[in-house]
Structure 1
Amino acid sequence: LDTSKTMRKMWCWLIVFHLFVLYDFVHCITLTEVRVPKHTIRGHAVKLECHYDMEGEALYSVKWYKDGREFYRYVPRDEPPGSVFPQPGITVDYRCEVSAEAPSFQTVSDHGEMMVVVLPDQDPYITGGKPRYQIGDPVRINCTSGRSKPAVHLTWYINGDPAEPGLLKRYETRVTGIDKLETSTLGLEFRIKPKHFKHGDMKLKCLATISTVYWKSNEESVEGEKLQKAPTLESRRAVSADSRADRVQAASSNRATEGTDRLTASKLAIYVFILLASYRYTS
Structure 2
Amino acid sequence: MNGMCVARITLALLVLTHRYDDVRGLLISNIVVPSPVVVGEAGWLECDFVEQQRERVYALKWYLGLEEFYRWTPAETPSVKTFPVRGRPLVVDVAASRRGRVRILDVTLGATGVFRCEVSAEAPSFHTESAVATMTVVDLPDERPVLTGVQARYQLQEDVSVNCSSPRSQPPATLTFYINDIPADPSWLRWYPPLEEGNSGLETAVLGLVFPLRPRLLRRGPAIIKCTATILDRYWESSVAAVHSDVPHHASVMGGHASHATGWAQLLSEVHLHCLEAMSQSSYTWHYTQQNKGPESEQRLNNFPTEAPELQ
Q: Pick the aligned partner of 2:22 from 14, 21, 24.
A: 24
- Change over 3 Å in CA distance of 1:18–1:185 after alignment to 2: closer
Is the contact between residue 64 and residue 111 of structure 2 (CA under 8 Å) also seen in structure 1?
Answer: no
**Which one has a larger percent helix, Structure 1 or Structure 2?**
1
**Count of aligned pairs:** 228
- AA aligned opposite 1:96: C
- Change over 3 Å in CA distance of 1:23–1:131 after alignment to 2: same
| 1:120-158 deviation line (CA, Å, top 9, x unaligned) | 132211000023333211101101111011111111111
Alignment correspondent of 2:66: 68
How far residue 22 of structure 1 moved from its aligned partner, in angstroms, is: 6.1
Q: Which runs of 5+ in 2 are unaligned?
A: 90-109, 249-262, 270-292, 300-312
- 5 Å matches for 1:1-283? 17=15, 20-21=18-19, 23-24=21-22, 28-55=25-52, 56-87=54-85, 88=89, 89-227=110-248, 229=266
Is the contact between residue 189 and residue 208 of structure 2 (CA under 8 Å) also seen in structure 1?
Answer: yes
Alignment correspondent of 2:283: none
SS of equivalent residue, structure 1 residue 47: strand
How far residue 18 of structure 1 moved from its aligned partner, in angstroms, is: 5.2
Percent identity over the alignment is 38
C-alpha distance in 2 between matches for 1:129 and 1:58: 68
TM-score, length of structure 2 as denominator length: 0.65
Tell me whether 182-191 or 172-181 shows the greater mean CA deviation: 172-181
How far residue 19 of structure 1 moved from its aligned partner, in angstroms, is: 7.4
- Change over 3 Å in CA distance of 1:130–1:32 after alignment to 2: same
How far residue 66 of structure 1 moved from its aligned partner, in angstroms, is: 1.1
Is the contact between residue 155 and residue 206 of structure 1 (CA under 8 Å) also seen in structure 2?
Answer: yes
How far residue 202 of structure 1 moved from its aligned partner, in angstroms, is: 0.9
- Change over 3 Å in CA distance of 1:99–1:130 after alignment to 2: same
Determine which structure has more spread, i.e. the larger CA radius of gyration: 1
Q: Which runs of 5+ in 1 are unaligned?
A: 1-6, 238-283
SS of equivalent residue, structure 1 residue 184: strand
- Change over 3 Å in CA distance of 1:191–1:59 after alignment to 2: same
C-alpha distance in 1 between matches for 2:20 and 2:145: 63
RMSD of Structure 2 on Structure 1 (CA): 3.0
C-alpha distance in 2 between matches for 1:186 and 1:19: 62
C-alpha distance in 2 between matches for 1:135 and 1:15: 86
C-alpha distance in 2 between matches for 1:78 and 1:208: 50
